[in-house]
Structure formats: C-alpha cells, structure tokens
Structure 1
C-alpha cells in the first residue's frame, strides 16, 4: 500500500493537529503527508519530531507571516522525495519508493485569485515529465461543478473552473471521486449562512489508474480545522510477509493492566534448567501481552469509529 494524506490544517503548531495527524498516520499506514496552511515561517527537526516522529524527513515552504505555508513529510523507511520546485502555492517533487515505483507528487495550496492560481498550474505543467505518473493533491480553492458546493451563490463555469479543467486535460489528470463526507470545507456559520464546498481533492495521472485499479480517495473526519483531511490509497499488489515473532511494544508499559499481566504470568511455576524456565516465562508473558493488546486495541478502534460517526452527525455531514 502507498497512502498519502493532504490536509489544510490551519496551523501546524496546534496540539490537536499533531494528535489527529499521528492518529491518521497510524490508522491508515500513511507514507507521505502534505500539510497546507501551516502558518509557520520555519520548521526545524524538533518541530517535525513533535508532529510525526523521528522516522520522517521533510521539506517546507515557509508561510508569509501567519498566512499560508506548506510542509511535505515522507517516511524514510518507504522512500525518498527529491524536490523539483517550491513556491508559495506548491511543493512538487519526485517520490522514489525503495521497493517498486517512481512518481511525481505535488502538494498544492492554490491562491483564491484565478490568475495567481494559474501560475501554480503552469509551474506543475512545466516540471511534469510527460508519461511520468503524477499525483496532485491539496486545497485548490476552486470547484468544477454544482455538486461540489452547497449554499451560497449558484455555481457557474467561470474562468477559474476553466483554468483548472484545462490544467487537468493538459496533464491527463483525473478527479477519481471519493468516499466519505460530500464536502471538504465548511465556513462554520449557522444554517442560513452555511457554505460547504469540495475544495480539497486528489488529481491522479491516468497512467497510475491504468496500473492500479484499486486506487481510491477518501474524505476523513473534520477535526481541528474547517477542512477535512483527504486520503489517497494505492494498492501496490504486494502483501506484507507475516511475522511469527512477537515483539515487546513500548506502549504496553504505559498500561497498569500490562504490568499486572507480566506479574501473573511470571509467577507461574516452570520446570527444567534455569535458561529453559526463563525462556518459557518470556514466551508465555509476551503471548499474553500480545493477545491482551490485540483485544484492547480492537475495542479502542471500535470506540474510535463510533466517535467518528458521532462527530459526523454533530457536524451534519452528508
């Protein structure tokens, strides 16, 4: 699997942004993250470690004061990201997987002004190598159809929509559709003045769709921002080899029940040499911790899914 998230987080320093992002990375096995509207002029190694951990590398486009800012993160164990260009509206690079593929990836935070937005589209087109697989994701600040909007003025096919359509056609990019909430942004006003739009999306190169039929895009639950994170999932047709080793997880030590389990299993009498006794105790304890953890986190995942549904209901997501 190769999973990518783009999210207009509206402030990468917010504690709730880091908490939710780490949850999404773990829940969806994410390899590349594009954070938009970071509102940060400088990113350090310490900032990235705080947000996602030490296993990630990064590049960024600074904000102008508290406006804008783009951060691209990639998991070092999965691949590398070579930057092709950076601008106020986009970071584009070549992601090389350590195992199987070499794609161009662009993270976009398009300007609201049609003419300025066109500059970002032109830059992507100029750096895109024909026939090279390309994924463009982010906040386009533009919609292409009435179905992408609810509330406010009726949609009309303006120069903004035409410019985006021309960009997609020139680079053979396809809007694949999505699952999840209908809209990725909401203005958070009362019912009479509420406007919802699908401003955030992934545009996928047709060559990727030809090779990976199971590619899908999902709109995730809106938390800590008025934009939903969007997830692109690509099945690479590879299956992770099953491991029969049980490894101790550091997080187990944070649960009192885990300590109790260790005490209970360690006190069980064993026979044989001292080395044999020690081996049996370790095996029995690790196995008990593994199945306890599996059951506990299954329950936590169920609670998480229920909470997601409740949040969607409270937000009135369609």
Structure 2
C-alpha cells in the first residue's frame, strides 16, 4: 500500500466526520493507516514514522489527554531489538499516556506460540521494552492466538495486541482485548473494549474514613440504642444487621451529597492562584484559598483511605502515602480476579446470571452432606488430646481475651462477610 486517497479512506470509514494519517509501504514493510472520529478525538500532534504511526490529543467527552500508536513490527528477528529501541525512544520523548496497538511480530510468553521453534531471547527483549515504557498487557478473551500460517501442521502465535500505560486503568478500569473471528486474513482482528458486566449489587463495605465523621458516629450510636430498645433479639448479629441497614442508607445519602472530589477542588485553587499571580484580588480570596486547601487535604485523605482498603495491601504501614499506587493496585487486583467467562462443554458463558448459577451449582454439588467415603474399622492410631487440652479448647472465652484480639487486629481487615471491618469495632465498641 503506497498511496491512500480520501476516497479510499471514506470507503473504509463510512461514519460521519473523520481524519487520518497514512504511512506508505517501505520495502517488505506494509503501509499503515490510522483513522479516527473527529467528534470523539481532538487531534494535537501526528507522526508517521517507519513501522508506526502516532497521534496525540484529547478524548472530547472526558478531557482525557493521551497518545495512540499504530504498530507494525519487523518480521526479521535481527531487526526487532532496534525497532523496539526506536519506539521506546519516541514514547519517552513525550510526557503523555500511551495506548499502543498492532502487529508487534513479537510475543511475551512461550505459551503464546504453538508450533515450530521460538526465540526465547526476544521474549526477554519484548518484556524489557514493556517495563521500560511503563506499559501493561491486558486480559485477552475470545481466543489465545491472533495469527496462523495456515500450513499443515499450522503454527499459532499471539502477534497482535494492545499495550497501555498503567494509568489508563484509572480512567478506563474495564479495558480488555477481544479476539474476533478470522476471515480471509491470516490475522485475527483484536478489539480494545471497555466492558463492565452487571453482576448485581456490590457487597456492603465500611470505609475507615467514615469513622472519623461526626454524623456517622451519631448515626451508629442512635442505631445501637434503637436496636436495643425495639428489637426482641439482643444478640450482636441482630444489632449488626440493623446497623448495616442504617449505614447503607447513610452512605447513599453521604455519597450523593459529599460534594466535589479532590480534582475539582484543585482546579478551583489553581484558578484563584492564577488570578492572584496576575494581580487580581477579590475580597476573601486568601480566606477562600485557606478553606479550599483544608478541603483538598481532607479529600486526599478520604480518597487515600478508600483506595488503600480496596487495594488490600498487607504491608502498608502508617506513613506510606501513595493514593495513585493504591488505586492502580486495587484496579489491577479487580482485573485479575474478574470472572470474564466460564466454559461449559466447550462453550464460553459470559452472561452474569448464567455464570452465577453455574458457580452455585458447582459448589452445591461439591460441598454437601452426602457421604462420599465411609471411614470405619481402619484401626488407625490417631493422636488424642489430653483432658487438660480438651478443657482449654472448650473453655469459654474471657472478655479480656476478646478485647485483646479485637485491638491487636488490622483495622482494615474484615472478620466476616457482613462488611464491617475491625476498625469499625475498635472505634465503636472500644
């Protein structure tokens, strides 16, 4: 492909307003064409380089600033390290978040190739490139490989993929790669999509920063008293059940009315400071700045606490502060743990309702009261507890033991599925 006209592009992209960049074929390297919807993406800069095209700009509906790169890597092994080196140099020259996609003619793991020999050294070279460029691979659904040589016996390889800057997960947490069915080409189309299935209501979770809020404490104390006064069941389970319901109602109202996030407050601070730098002062400007900075600090602490709990890091200690890292860790944990589909007789099932039924059926049949194996008359000499040991195990818990366990526990950990963590019990029962 040496030339592309506007008419050619219009025949491919028959969807409203668009723009494009074209890089012609050079030798054995095929040409590259990148097309985008101008109503969706506002272009900043565009680059047509040998073996890749890059554009930078803003996604209009979100204001997200990023760069997109269309890649076609060399097929000759000796050319691949030099290509990655030049691509890395270009990426590092721009202070921007990147999304790369295309045929890299490389793969990341031995499991990504089936058939013939493989160059293990180039796997390490490709991994080093991804690490140095601060990129990440994404989950792949719909298939394991993206290219086949259509010979007998065939060779299958995953040559095509998307790589994104890690911060892309903060803006688009549901991103994944989907392999589409292959037609006449020896390559499968790989689609980058943001897909978040509806798995129903999320489990209740109590966040530590709620515990520092006066109206939260007053609400919990009132609920405790009402539960003790109005309920016929005085057990802790009954009290917590009623408290959970009240906290969920409170959190819904709080989240609706909690006001601006840290980004909104920071923008207002920047606006006032810009006016002051130009000599424009209004009555109360300095007092407004003081209040806004106080609000910003409080917002940062709330966001930090929330994302720390979501990340479930065990090594965190007081003084470690990195909300961005906690956010990325929580997002990556959610991505890795996500059930995208289950297989049933070779068929991929992705509908959440059907997946839930399959999981329930599996565990209901695996864990039940049906005796799987009768164990009797084995004449085995099992070790036995002494009378003193049995007494200690069966002895009633003392109150001081309960309090000792409570206050020695990690405040971020939850002892059960009710959503209340140890911080809640330490704060409200201590």
| Pairwise TM-score range, normalised by the shorter structure | 0.5 to 0.7
1:168 alignment partner, SS class: helix
| Aligned mate of 2:115, from 113, 129, 151 | 151
CA distance in 2, matches of 1:218, 1:82: 28
| Aligned mate of 1:89, from 48, 51, 55 | 51
Q: Which runs of 5 or more residues in structure 1 are unaligned? A: 1-39, 237-308, 310-318
CA distance in 1, matches of 2:52, 2:108: 20
Match for residue 167 of structure 1? 129
Please say if residues 222 and 228 of structure 1, whose CA atoms lie closer than 8 Å, have aligned partners that are also in contact: yes
Q: Which runs of 5 or more residues in structure 2 are unaligned? A: 197-346, 348-430
Instruction: Say whether residues 1:107 and 2:70 are aligned partners.
Output: yes
The 5-angstrom pairing of residues 258-273 of structure 1 reads none
Q: Count the aligned residue pairs.
A: 194
Q: Deviations over 1:205-250 (max 9, x none)?
A: 11112332211111111113110111111369xxxxxxxxxxxxxx
The structure, 1 or 2, with the larger RCO (C-alpha pairs under 8 Å, 6+ apart) is: 1
Instruction: Flag the structure with larger Rg.
Output: 2
CA distance in 2, matches of 1:85, 1:116: 21
CA distance in 2, matches of 1:170, 1:106: 17
Flag the 1:156–1:108 CA change in 2: closer, same or farther, 3 A.
same
Deviation of 1:66 after TM superposition, in Å, equals 7.3
Match for residue 36 of structure 1? none
> More helix by proportion, 1 or 2?
2
Instruction: Say whether residues 1:69 and 2:69 are aligned partners.
Output: no
TM-score (norm 2): 0.42
Q: Deviations over 1:68-89 (max 9, x none)?
A: 1100000121113344432221
The 5-angstrom pairing of residues 109-148 of structure 1 reads 109-128=72-91, 132-148=96-112
Please say if residues 68 and 88 of structure 1, whose CA atoms lie closer than 8 Å, have aligned partners that are also in contact: no
Please say if residues 52 and 72 of structure 2, whose CA atoms lie closer than 8 Å, have aligned partners that are also in contact: yes
Match for residue 188 of structure 1? 150
1:50 alignment partner, SS class: helix
2:120 alignment partner, SS class: coil
Deviation of 1:150 after TM superposition, in Å, equals 1.1
CA distance in 2, matches of 1:206, 1:131: 14
CA distance in 1, matches of 2:184, 2:148: 13
Please say if residues 78 and 98 of structure 1, whose CA atoms lie closer than 8 Å, have aligned partners that are also in contact: yes
CA distance in 1, matches of 2:181, 2:13: 19
Please say if residues 108 and 138 of structure 1, whose CA atoms lie closer than 8 Å, have aligned partners that are also in contact: yes
Flag the 1:65–1:143 CA change in 2: closer, same or farther, 3 A.
closer
TM-score (norm 1): 0.56
Match for residue 44 of structure 1? 5
1:128 alignment partner, SS class: helix
Instruction: Say whether residues 1:199 and 2:159 are aligned partners.
Output: yes
Q: Deviations over 1:257-281 (max 9, x none)?
A: xxxxxxxxxxxxxxxxxxxxxxxxx
Please say if residues 188 and 194 of structure 1, whose CA atoms lie closer than 8 Å, have aligned partners that are also in contact: yes
2:3 alignment partner, SS class: coil
> More strand by proportion, 1 or 2?
1
CA distance in 1, matches of 2:44, 2:7: 21
Deviation of 1:156 after TM superposition, in Å, equals 4.9
Deviation of 1:194 after TM superposition, in Å, equals 0.7
Task: Kindly report structure 1 stretches of 4+ aligned residues shifted beyond 6 Å.
Answer: none
Match for residue 239 of structure 1? none
Q: Deviations over 1:38-64 (max 9, x none)?
A: xx1011101101111253211110013
